[in-house]
């Protein structure tokens, strides 16, 4: 039922707005562009790029061929990678000769999460158009954005457009998993090919809609850092008929009780300050007032406490650490010799994994406990990495202005809001390489229809074509006139 509701409201929205012919043309583009964009999308979806049996090289070569057929010079389009199955495509759209401004880099991953035919209603590696949606693995994450970038490169080229700085497109391997992350590999082995002033990564950001109605245009401007810690108590144990106060399970239970009641300090950065400033205009009543109050100097403590009850706002205001696993004891009638918990943290930019390990030790204040960093591979070490989540880059005026201008045309009334993402994308590599990176996408997805990594992944047909139009207009707005170099 909800799908029918969505479609109807889209029709109402589109029909209503299409009374203004200019908006209609602005949001859907021309028929030839739509046909090319659809062909490219279909081709990409139908090339299996999973880590298990797929190949990003095949997809990279197909996209390279599209660009070469459209007139991009051979020297500006390469497929390159560490082995035959994990190829990446890098294409350069040239500015005027003699341009000194450094390039813009667009990154998009070609690989997709595994999908089994028996779990899906349609074949995940067949591009199926049905009931106003495109179905297939990668329609939301993120072959739609890869196809959009290629289609818009071709459209710009056909229009004879010359940008004020080079635009590089890198379509890469192994973001979702696998051992050959393409962005990491290119930065280490061919940095010259992709070196840039800043990065656009359409893997995050985008338009959140409710039954087709645009609510917000979000873009990712910073990411939290992930970390796991093992909290361990050991004890000589003994017979449970003779209990002692010193008990491994109690030590862990006490530590977790302290963790529960000890939120990390409230923090803001340039991104979350802007986020709460914008959200205050969307929220109402006490919540809106509280958002304004935490932005004051000094921030209002009662307002922080009230906002902290909302999980998303809470995680945007501080580092969070939470117990996620627990085990202990070895017999029903023995005092425990061992108890342990896993504490999972999402670290606010500016702090390292080691900083938070030390903060946990300080918080528990129990010398019988050890707190160790647990790596992604599960190894335990007495010291966490000193790597920090990068402090957010400045919100560039050229990026912000272009985004606001085009968003206002395509999704009138929906505010543009910078966000701090709690997961991580390939931007972590470019950010760590010192290249400011922004998650910007023109794809609109209903908030109850997020199907990335799930079964029957799909994207509204209209959302796709509007996305094609968005990146075309956005890239033009960003690269027309005098290049700005802050
Ligand atoms: Zn993705």
What does the pLDDT look like over 305-314, one tens digit per residue? 999 999 889 9
In 3D space, the residue among 438, 436, 441 whose CA is nearest the CA of residue 390 turns out to be 436
Distances (CA, A) of 181 to 160, 169, 190: 34, 16, 13
Query: How much distance in Å is there from the Cα of 113 to the middle of ligand 1?
Result: 9
Q: Which residues pair with 231 in a beta bridge?
A: 341, 371
Longest dimension (CA), the chain: 86
Query: How much distance in Å is there from the Cα of 425 to the middle of ligand 1?
Result: 7
Give the range among 79-83, 231-235, 390-394 with minimum mean pLDDT.
390-394
The pTM (predicted TM-score) of the whole model is: 0.82
Higher-scoring residue by pLDDT: 24, 220: 220
Query: Looking at residue 27, what is its pLDDT?
Result: 60
User: Two tokens at 445?
Assistant: 């997805």
Query: How much distance in Å is there from the Cα of 59 to the middle of ligand 1?
Result: 16
Query: How much distance in Å is there from the Cα of 172 to the middle of ligand 1?
Result: 11
Distance of alpha carbon 45 from the chain centroid: 20
Q: How far apart are CA 84 and CA 86, in angstroms?
A: 6
Confidence of residue 22 (pLDDT cuts 50, 70, 90): very low
Give me the residues near ligand 1 (ion), CB cutoff below 5 Å. 141-142, 203
User: Is it the case that residue 453 has pLDDT exceeding 90?
Assistant: no
Query: How much distance in Å is there from the Cα of 427 to the middle of ligand 1?
Result: 11
**Contact (Cβ atoms closer than 8 angstroms) between residue 398 and residue 484:** yes
Query: How much distance in Å is there from the Cα of 210 to the middle of ligand 1?
Result: 22
Which segments of 159-234 does DSSP mark as H helices, in order? 182-189, 191-194
Query: How much distance in Å is there from the Cα of 108 to the middle of ligand 1?
Result: 8
**How does strand 369-374 pair with strand 225-234?**
antiparallel
Query: How much distance in Å is there from the Cα of 412 to the middle of ligand 1?
Result: 27
Query: How much distance in Å is there from the Cα of 21 to the middle of ligand 1?
Result: 34
Query: How much distance in Å is there from the Cα of 203 to the middle of ligand 1?
Result: 5
Which tens digit of pLDDT belongs to each residue from 140-180?
Answer: 999 999 999 999 999 999 999 999 999 999 999 999 888 99
> What's the angle, vertex CA 228, arms to CA 222 and CA 233, rounded to 5?
150
Query: How much distance in Å is there from the Cα of 148 to the middle of ligand 1?
Result: 15
Query: How much distance in Å is there from the Cα of 204 to the middle of ligand 1?
Result: 7
User: Is it the case that residue 20 has pLDDT exceeding 60?
Assistant: no
Query: How much distance in Å is there from the Cα of 250 to the middle of ligand 1?
Result: 42
Query: How much distance in Å is there from the Cα of 170 to the middle of ligand 1?
Result: 14
């Amino acid at each position: 039922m909800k799908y029918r509701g969505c479609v109807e409201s889209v029709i109402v929205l589109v029909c209503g707005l299409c009374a203004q012919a200019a908006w209609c043309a602005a949001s859907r583009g021309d028929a030839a562009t739509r046909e090319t964009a659809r062909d490219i999308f279909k081709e990409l979806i139908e090339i299996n790029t999973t880590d298990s049996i797929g190949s990003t090289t095949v997809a990279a070569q197909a996209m390279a061929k599209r660009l070469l057929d459209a007139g991009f010079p051979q020297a500006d389009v390469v497929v390159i990678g560490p082995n035959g199955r994990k190829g990446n495509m890098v294409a350069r759209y040239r500015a005027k000769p003699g341009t000194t401004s450094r390039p813009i880099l667009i990154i998009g991953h070609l690989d997709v999460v595994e999908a089994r035919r028996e779990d899906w209603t349609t074949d995940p590696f067949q591009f199926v158009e049905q009931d106003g949606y495109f179905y297939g693995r990668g329609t939301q994450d993120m072959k739609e954005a890869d196809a959009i970038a290629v289609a818009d490169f071709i459209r710009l080229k056909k229009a004879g457009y010359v940008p004020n700085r080079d635009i590089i497109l890198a379509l890469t391997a192994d973001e979702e998993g696998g051992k050959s992350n393409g962005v990491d590999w290119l930065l280490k082995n061919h940095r010259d090919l992709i070196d840039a002033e800043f990065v656009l990564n359409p893997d995050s950001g985008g338009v959140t809609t409710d039954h087709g109605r645009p609510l917000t245009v979000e873009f990712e401007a910073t990411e939290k850092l992930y970390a796991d810690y093992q909290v361990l108590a050991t004890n000589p144990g003994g017979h449970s008929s003779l209990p002692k106060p010193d008990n491994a399970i109690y030590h862990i239970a006490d530590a977790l009780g302290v963790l529960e009641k000890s939120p990390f300090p409230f923090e803001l950065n340039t991104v979350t300050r802007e986020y709460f400033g914008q959200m205050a205009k969307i929220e109402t009543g006490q919540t809106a007032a509280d958002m304004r109050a935490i932005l004051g100097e000094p921030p209002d403590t009662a307002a922080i406490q009230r906002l902290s009850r909302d999980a998303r706002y809470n995680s945007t205001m501080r580092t969070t650490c939470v117990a996620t696993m627990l085990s202990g004891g070895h017999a029903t009638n023995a005092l425990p010799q061992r108890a342990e918990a896993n504490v999972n943290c999402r670290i606010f930019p500016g702090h390292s994994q080691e900083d938070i390990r030390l903060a946990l030790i300080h918080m528990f204040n129990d010398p019988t406990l050890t707190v160790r960093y647990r790596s992604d591979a599960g190894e335990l070490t007495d010291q966490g990495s000193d790597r920090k989540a990068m402090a957010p880059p400045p919100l560039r005026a050229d990026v912000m202005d272009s985004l606001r201008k085009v968003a206002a045309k395509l999704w009138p009334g929906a505010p543009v809001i910078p966000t701090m993402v709690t997961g991580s994308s390939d931007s972590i590599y470019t950010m760590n390489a010192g290249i400011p990176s922004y998650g910007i996408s023109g794809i609109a997805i209903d908030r109850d229809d997020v199907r990335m990594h799930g079964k029957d992944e799909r994207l509204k047909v209209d959302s796709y074509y509007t996305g094609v139009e968005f990146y075309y207009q956005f890239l033009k707005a960003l690269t027309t006139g005098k290049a700005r170099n802050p």
